[in-house]
Chain A
Amino acid sequence: MATIPGVPGTTARPRPDRPGAPRRSQRDRRRRGPMGRAARRLSTMRDATPLTYFALIFTALLSAFPIYWMFVVATRGNDVIAMRPPPIFPGANFVENTGRLFANPEANFTLGLINSLVAATVVAFSMILFCSLAGFALAKLPFRGRNAVLVLIILTMSVPVQMGLIPMYIVMNQLGWVNQLQAIIVPFMVTGFGVFMMRQYALQAIPDELIEAARVDGCSTFRIYWSVVLPALRPAMVVLALLSFMQSWNDFIWPLAVLTAENPTVQMSIRQLANAYFNDYALMFTGATFATVPLIIVFIIFGRQLIGGIMEGAIKA
């Protein structure tokens, strides 16, 4: 799909290799004077109607409702399930429910939470390290076979994970990694998607002149990576770290295959609860709350970057 560089609204970064780009004057014209403003209103976006707001608010409510309902049940008891009309506000039983959750012998919730946090964090950091290294090499370093490598990486992106589930399990069995946490970390430390994303970003974010200048100053390749490339790639790295964290946190089928209920991830703990305590909604929903909160915290901190990343990726894809 075509690359559309320098789309207004998505890439605020001015291209350093073209100083005084025409884009700037365009923006000035838009900002200045009544003529510019009138022209803008005519040419760009249409105005919102009350119906627009109604639809958007309705969407926002639907988006939030399941999570809100989860929280309501988690802070109350099982009686609310049958209550008609259903309660609207959270209750005061959250601490009690939390106590029951972490004391539950079958769910292993504490361990599940720790396992998921460790795995997702390690995966996120190793992803940004290895993917940015490889992406930098593919975008900016000339070497023999570079195009072949790139094509291969793109090809790997289309192979679904489930293809490898069974042999990966057999490999893990050989390595003695079944039921070990590294089994859900190591295979995901660097992926074709991450490398490709970093390469695409590095192409436009790092001017070749900067690398040449660093070389003239006597920088080694790794020094260039560390002092020039890493800072330039930071916005894309934040997005990649977020996506990898979420993916690792949410992964279900592979942990289910390679780990056991004694050493679970948080998603497996939830499944265990759903299977064994299918009537104890307060317990299950408290577990679900704990599985969701870390993601929401991450989203509150980095949500803006995530939205920007998805939208930019959409155009570059």
Chain B
Amino acid sequence: MRTTGPPTPGETHERPRPSHRTRTSSKARDGSAGWRVRLTKADMRYSPYLYVAPFFVLFAIFGLFPVIYTLWISLHDWTLLGGQEAFVGLDNYAYLLFEDTRFYNALFNTLGMFVLATVPQLLIALLLADLLNRRIRFRGFFRVSVIFPYVTSVAATALVFGQLFGRDYGLINYVIELVGLPPVNWQSGRLASWSAVSIMVDWRWIGYNTLIYLAAMQAIPKDLYEAAAIDGASRMRQFWQITIPMLQPTILFTVIISTIGGMQLFTEPVMFGGGDYDGGSQAEFQTIAMYMFSEAFGRQDYGYGSAVAWIIFVVIILFSLINVLFVQRIRSAV
């Protein structure tokens, strides 16, 4: 630690002068007062650093170091038993990007499920928020019922959905057959399995987005609507011309949150596939997170798994940027 810097007047010059508070005090008390002043100064100077220190210590060990170390590992042949082996440069990346069809399959699945889940999720959330923003009875109850799926256990509900989407005895096929349509084999085929996983994700996240939109809607100045109503704009038109434009930043926020979540999709497809990381017999719903996990912890090829992790990171950043540009384009069009 450094010393406390140049001596301050409070410490050196004022000490001999008896202040009104220590008028009756003895010499010993005077000494302790100076000590206390110094202590207070140190307290004010160093306490802030002390308070933010836990975060930085933990982040350094479990956040920053791993991210950089991942890069290092990804440049090696690296296995659990063998430990660090040969430095292979960009070989892992070269194979990953130019030869690994399984990786591209997983990437395609991840992006497909992201689109299939996010678009209806945000649209339904907007609609529900608009409903909740009206004058309704049991407002509290409806809010609770909307957010309820968000507070359940992900693995547990994914397990339940896995049964509901069962080919032979699933209740969803039961309803489909009641309507007179042929049953769907949800576990096979891209569209079917993607839809099933997307519905699980949406069931959980629609309510969260709804509350966020609701809060943003309540923050829109009411006189905007008044003015529009006086001008004779219909409710529909008010929704599209006032509500949606005013929600732009919020919509961007939810899209980015969904992107980060969607690119890391793991629990739902794993549980949907009965706890396996393969994502179905043809890997129809294996996501990049599942692929990374099975490469690193299944085959114990840490070097290659790290390369996948870095690519996931880059994909997330790319998509967030695309989102920002996309939403800005829409905004300028409106």
Contact = CB atoms under 8 A, between A and B. Distances in A.
A274 B159 contact: yes
B191 interface: no
- Give the bracket for the number of chain A residues in contact with chain B: 35 or more
Given A4-B219, A62-B203, A167-B306, A317 B135 contact: no
Interface residues of B, number: 104
Interface stretch (A17-25, A81-89, A92-100, A231-239): A81-89
Given A156-B63, A160-B313, A296-B151, A133 B51 contact: yes
A66 B171 CA distance: 11
B135 A45 contact: yes
B250 A46 contact: no
A43 B276 CA distance: 55
Nearest to B135: A45
Given A64-B145, A168-B62, A222-B47, A84 B174 contact: yes
Contact of A170 (B69, B249, B250): B69
B153 A267 contact: yes
Interface in A286-304: 287-289, 291-292, 295-296, 298-299, 303-304
A82 B169 contact: yes
A47 B134 contact: yes
Contact of A48 (B135, B208, B260): B135
Given A42-B226, A81-B169, A271 B212 contact: no
A253 B293 contact: yes
B121 to A, nearest CB: 13
Contacts of B70: 163-164, 166-167
Contact of B66 (A167, A271, A274): A167
Contact of B249 (A2, A70, A166, A191): A2
Contacts of A250: 153-155, 267
Interface string B139-182: 01111111111011111110111111010010100100000000
26 contacts: A7-B218, A7-B219, A10-B219, A45-B135, A46-B235, A53-B136, A56-B131, A56-B132, A59-B142, A81-B163, A84-B174, A130-B55, A137-B49, A142-B48, A156-B63, A160-B264, A161-B264, A163-B66, A169-B297, A187-B61, A192-B55, A221-B44, A256-B293, A271-B270, A271-B271, A311-B212
Interface of A: 1-2, 4, 7-10, 42-48, 52-53, 55-56, 59-60, 62-64, 66-67, 69-70, 73, 81-82, 84, 86, 130-131, 133-134, 136-138, 141-143, 146, 149, 153, 156, 158-171, 186-187, 189-192, 195, 220-222, 225, 246, 249-250, 252-253, 256-257, 266-267, 270-272, 274-275, 278, 281, 284-285, 287-289, 291-292, 295-296, 298-299, 303-304, 306-307, 310-312, 314-315, 317
